[in-house]
Chain A
Amino acid sequence: MTDFDPGDYEISELGPAIKDIDDLGELEEILQAEHRGQNRAPAIALIESRIEKFSEDDEEPADADGLDLASMSTAAVGNALQSVEEVSELESLLEREEAGEDRDPVTRLIRNRIDSVKGSDEEDTEIEVDDRTPEERHPDLDHPTRDKRHVRSLHGGTYRDMWVYCETQAGELVDVSKEMLGKARELMDTYNDDYTTDERVVAVLIGADVSKHVEDVIAYGADVVVVREDARLERFQHKPYTEIFCDMARAGATHQNFEVTDGRDEPWRDYDKPRYVLFPATNNGRDLSALVQAELDSGLASDCSGLYITEEVISNPVKTGVAGEKKEFQRVLHMKRPDFSGFEYSTILCIDNPTREFHPQGASVIPGSFDVPEPDHEREGLVVEHDAPLDDDWFRVTVTDYDRLDEGIDLTGHEVIVAVGRGIGDDPTKGIELALDLADQFEDAEVGVTRGIVTGSFNFDGHVEQYTHEDRQIGETGQVVAPKLYVAAGISGAVQHKVGMDESDTIVAVNTDPDARIRDFSDYFIEGDLFEVLPRLTTALKEGRFEAAVASDGGRAASTPPAGTPDDGAGAGAAADDRGESR
C-alpha cells in the first residue's frame, strides 16, 4: 500500500511529486486513488504517462506479428515499435497497416522506425553528403528563399574573435556591458590558451556620443573597440544599429550565394565575420541580437546565464551531413539558459551545417549573470572608427520623445521580505493579500515574488496585481535580497530563487511539501498550507504571542484585531501604523 494521496497535490506539484516513484504497483494505486478522489483529467494523464514509461522499460522486444495494429492508437503503435528491431518485421507491419487502416501517422511512424533501425545497422557505411544544390533536389520550387536576402552565410569562411555589443543608456555604459566584457575576456583568455592562438575581444560602441567610453571598455577587457558616432544614432533604432553592426562585422563586404564581394581592407583583421557575438538581454539588446544574427544568417541563444567554449560531439545528421555518424565540432560556444519559466536549464549550440556555416555563434546575456570585472586602466587597446555612409532609408522609425520612468520597487535594504511563489495558485489574489497582511506586521517589510509568479498565467485582482510584476521578482533574474527575516511562502526553492535570498539572516519557509528544496536553506520549515499558516503568523504577530492566534480561531480567519482593521492590501510595507503599540 502506498500512503501517497494524489489529492494532496495541485496538478503542477503532482508531476515533481511522483517523479521519483518508479514502482508500477504503487503508481497503479495512486492512479486508482485519483480516480476515486478528485478524478482530475490532467492528473490521470500524468500518472498514466508515468506508468506507461515504466511499462515500456520492462518490455521485452515485442513480437511484431502479434500486434493488432487496427485496434491500436497511433501513440500505442509508436511505443510498440520502439522494441521492434528487425527491418523485415517492420516492413511486414507497414504492409499490414497499408492494407488495413492505412493511417498516415502510423505509416510514417513505421517508416521512421525502419529508417532508424537501418541507420543503426549501417553505422559503418560511409554515406555521401548530398551536395546537390537545393534547385536540383527540389526542382518543383522556384527557390525564392535563396534568391531573397535571407541566406547570407558562407561556406569555407574565416571567423575569429569574440565581439561584444556594449549598450549605453542615458550616456552611460549599462552594467551588463561591463559584465559581458569581463566574461568575454575570461572566455577568450582560456580559449587562447586552449587553442594556442591570439583571438581578441572586440567591443562595439554605437551612438551619438559614445567614444568617451572607449577607455573604459578597454579597461574592462576589450582588445579592440569599433566605434560609430553620429548625431542620428542618439537613441537606439533597430534598422540603423543592425546595419551598422553588420557592416562592421563583415568589414563592408556583401555575403551572397556563399561568396564574399567587396569589403574594406581593414589591416587589424583578416576574417569574414566574428566567431562569437554577445549582446545584452535587455529589450533593445535582445532585439538587436536577433536582427544582427538574422542579417548575418546565423543563430543565437537568448537570455543566457552561463557561457563556455569547448568541443562537442554531435550526431544530428543535419549537422554532421552523415546519418548515423558522429562528428566532433571544435570551439563551440555553449550557451546555458534557464528555460520554461525556470523548470530546467537548456544548453544551446549554434553549429555549422555541412554546406552552410552558421557564424558568428551568438548569445544574449541576462544582466547580472556575471560580475562586473575590476577595470584595469593600464590595459591598451586598438580603437577603430567606423565611418561607412549611413543610408537615409534606415531611419524610417524616428524617436520623437522619451521619458525616464521612476525606479521600480527596491526590495533590498528592508528588514523583512515576505515572498510568495506558485503555492498561492489555489487563490492567487488571496495569497498576495495574506503576504501583505503579514508584511504589515513589521515596521520595514516588503512583499516579493518568484519568477513563477511573474511569468505565470495567474489571474490577480486589480488591487494586488501591482505586487506581482517583475520589479518585485527575487532571484537570479530579479533582485538579490538579504533581509534580517525572509519568509518564503509556497516557494519550492529553485536554485534561481535561492541565489536571490539565501544570504538572509533568518529564513522561514511555509510549504506543504516537506521535500521542497527550500528546506535545505531554511531555518524554520512550517509544513502546512500557506493559506492557513500565514493568517496564524499575522495574528500571532499582532497579539505578540502565538497561543492566542490558534486558540482564538484555529487560525483560519484573523482574530479580532487589537487595533485597526485588517488591511485591504493597498499598502504593503507602507510601514506599520499601529503595530509598534500592539507589540
Chain B
Amino acid sequence: MHMVVLTKGVPDFREGQVSFDEDGHLERGKTPTVMNPNDRFALEAALQTRVRHGGRVSVMSMGPPGYKEVLREAMETVYADDLHLVSDREMAAADTWATAITLSAGIETLGEPDVVFAGFKTADGETGHTGPQTNWCLDMPLVTHVISLDIDEGAGTLRAKRLVEGDIEEIETVETELPAFVVADPEFEPSYRTAGERLTLKDLREETRARAENYEEHLTVRDHADINVDPDYIGLDGSPTIVSSVDPIPKAPAEREATMVDPDDAGAMQDVLTAMQSAVGDGDGDAAAAGGD
C-alpha cells in the first residue's frame, strides 16, 4: 500500500497574535508555525492503515521552506517514509482552488497512491475545501468526515464510517474501491485491535526516531516546474478569491452596567451570591441569604 498524507503548517494560535499585511494576507512570519492540528487525524488514519497492511507513507505539504519543520513533525506522528514539500514563490497566496491544483499535481509526481489522506479544516483558513477540491482534480472516489476506517487489501475495498450533520446528526457507513481519497474528521479514532498491531506500531516508532533526526535526507522539495504546473494557475494568479478586508470583531455597545466586584470583598461577593440565588428565583435564595445573617 502506498499512502500519501497532506498536511499544512498553520500559525500557532495559542501564542501571540495573528497579523496581516496591507493586502489583507496573513503575515506568517510573525507567528510561529505548527502542523495543522486537524491533520493529526489524517496522519492517524494513515498510520492505522500502514500498521495493519504495511506499505509506505509519504507526507506532502505546500508552503514556504519553513514548512520543513512541519513535515518533520508529521514524520514523527505518522512514522512517514518520505516527505515532500512543494514550494515556490509562484505558489504564494493561493486560495483553496489554486492549492488543490498544485497539490494534485504534486501527488501525481509520486505515482498512483492507493489512498490519499487529508485533514478537515485548517486552523487558519478553516474552509474544509482543500481536501475535496484536491480530490476533484485527481478524480478518485471521495469519502469525507471519516471517523473510522477499514481497508480490505485483498478485495481492494475501503469501508468507512462518516459523520453527517445538519438538523440531525447521522453516522453513515460507506464503501468504495481503492484507490480512494479519505478526509478524516476530527473525531477520527484509530484502533489497534491485536497485540501484533500494537507491536508493529512500537517497531515503527523506534524506526522513525532515527529517521526523523535526519529528516531532511528523506525530504524532496519541488517547485512548479518540477510538478509541471503553469504559474498562471497556481498561487495568487490562479486564485479566484481574495481577502478584501479583515476587521476586528466589532465592539458591541455596553448594554448593562456591571457592578465591579473584588473577590476578596466578602460583602460584595455576598451581594453576587444573593443575586445568583434570587436569579434562580424560587425564594430559597433569599431565605438562604437571610438565614446566613
Contact = CB atoms under 8 A, between A and B. Distances in A.
Interface string B153-170: 000000100011111111
Given A49-B30, A282-B166, A345 B249 contact: yes
Nearest to B240: A299
B241 interface: yes
Contact of A545 (B126, B139, B253, B273): B273
Given A397-B174, A521-B252, A347 B243 contact: yes
Contacts of A502: 255
A405 B170 contact: yes
Contacts of A187: none
Interface stretch (A221-229, A232-240, A248-256): A232-240
Interface residues of B, number: 107
A63 interface: no
Contacts of A12: 14-16
A174 B280 contact: no
B270 A396 contact: no
B225 interface: yes
B273 A540 contact: yes
A513 to B, nearest CB: 12
Given A520-B255, A545-B270, A399 B142 contact: no
A238 B259 contact: no
A6 to B, nearest CB: 13
Nearest to B224: A141
A158 interface: no
B279 A505 contact: yes
B105 A401 contact: no
A272 interface: no
Given A298-B240, A346-B245, A541-B276, A169 B288 contact: no
Contact of B256 (A42, A507, A533): A507
B292 A547 contact: yes
B176 interface: yes
A27 interface: no
Given A12-B14, A404-B168, A399 B288 contact: no
A45 B15 CA distance: 10
Nearest to A493: B252
A495 to B, nearest CB: 5
Contacts of B137: 148-150, 294
Nearest to B17: A15
A78 B89 CA distance: 17
B288 A545 contact: yes
Interface string A9-31: 00110111001000000000000
A42 B34 CA distance: 14
A400 interface: yes
A138 B223 CA distance: 14
B16 to A, nearest CB: 5
A396 to B, nearest CB: 5
A32 interface: no
Contacts of B139: 149
A290 interface: yes
A300 interface: yes
Interface stretch (A194-202, A258-266, A348-356, A565-573): A348-356
B136 A294 contact: yes
A7 interface: no
A334 B244 contact: yes
Nearest to A498: B252
A442 interface: yes
B134 to A, nearest CB: 9
A404 B171 CA distance: 6
Contact of B13 (A287, A341, A349): A341
B246 interface: yes
A396 B141 contact: yes
Given A146-B230, A318-B236, A517-B252, A555 B263 contact: yes
Given A145-B230, A484-B281, A506-B276, A150 B101 contact: yes
A35 interface: no
A134 B232 contact: yes
Given A145-B105, A349-B242, A517-B252, A45 B14 contact: no
Contacts of A524: 258-259, 261, 271-272, 275
A167 B275 contact: no
B133 interface: yes
A509 interface: yes
Interface in A139-164: 140-146, 148-151
Contacts of B78: none
A480 interface: no
Nearest to A355: B232
A537 B273 contact: yes
Nearest to B120: A283
B15 A42 contact: yes
Given A295-B136, A398-B176, A524-B261, A415 B249 contact: no
A303 B243 CA distance: 14
B113 interface: no
Contacts of B61: none
B174 A399 contact: yes
A303 B127 contact: yes
A494 B249 contact: yes
B247 A520 contact: no
Contact of B284 (A302, A344, A583): A583
Contacts of B255: 502, 520-521
B75 to A, nearest CB: 20
A46 B269 contact: no
Contacts of A543: 292
Interface string A167-193: 101101011100000000000000000
Contacts of B262: 526-528
A397 B176 contact: yes
Interface string A389-406: 000000011111111110
Given A145-B230, A238-B132, A495-B249, A416 B280 contact: yes
B249 A496 contact: yes
A291 interface: yes
Given A134-B232, A358-B240, A405-B171, A457 B37 contact: yes
A345 B145 contact: no
A282 B165 contact: yes
Contacts of B58: none
B128 interface: yes
Nearest to A143: B230
B87 interface: no
13 contacts: A15-B16, A15-B17, A138-B230, A284-B164, A284-B166, A318-B239, A347-B247, A348-B243, A517-B251, A520-B253, A521-B255, A525-B260, A533-B263
Given A290-B133, A350-B241, A545-B273, 8 more contacts: A150-B233, A174-B167, A290-B128, A344-B248, A398-B175, A487-B276, A525-B261, A546-B266
Interface of B: 13-18, 23-24, 29-30, 32, 37, 89, 95-97, 100-101, 105, 123-124, 126-129, 132-133, 136-137, 139, 141-145, 159, 163-177, 224-225, 228-234, 236-237, 239-256, 258-264, 266, 269-273, 275-277, 279-281, 284-285, 287-289, 291-293
Top 8 nearest A-B pairs (CB, nearest first) are: A299-B240, A545-B292, A358-B240, A528-B263, A15-B17, A520-B254, A290-B129, A299-B241
Interface of A: 11-12, 14-16, 19, 42, 45-46, 49, 75, 108, 134, 137-138, 140-146, 148-151, 167, 169-170, 172, 174-176, 235-236, 238-239, 242, 280, 282-287, 289-291, 293-295, 297-303, 312, 314, 316, 318-319, 334, 338-351, 353, 358, 367, 396-405, 407-408, 415-416, 442-443, 455-457, 484-485, 487, 494-496, 498, 502, 505-509, 514, 517, 519-528, 532-533, 536-537, 540-541, 543-551, 555, 580, 583
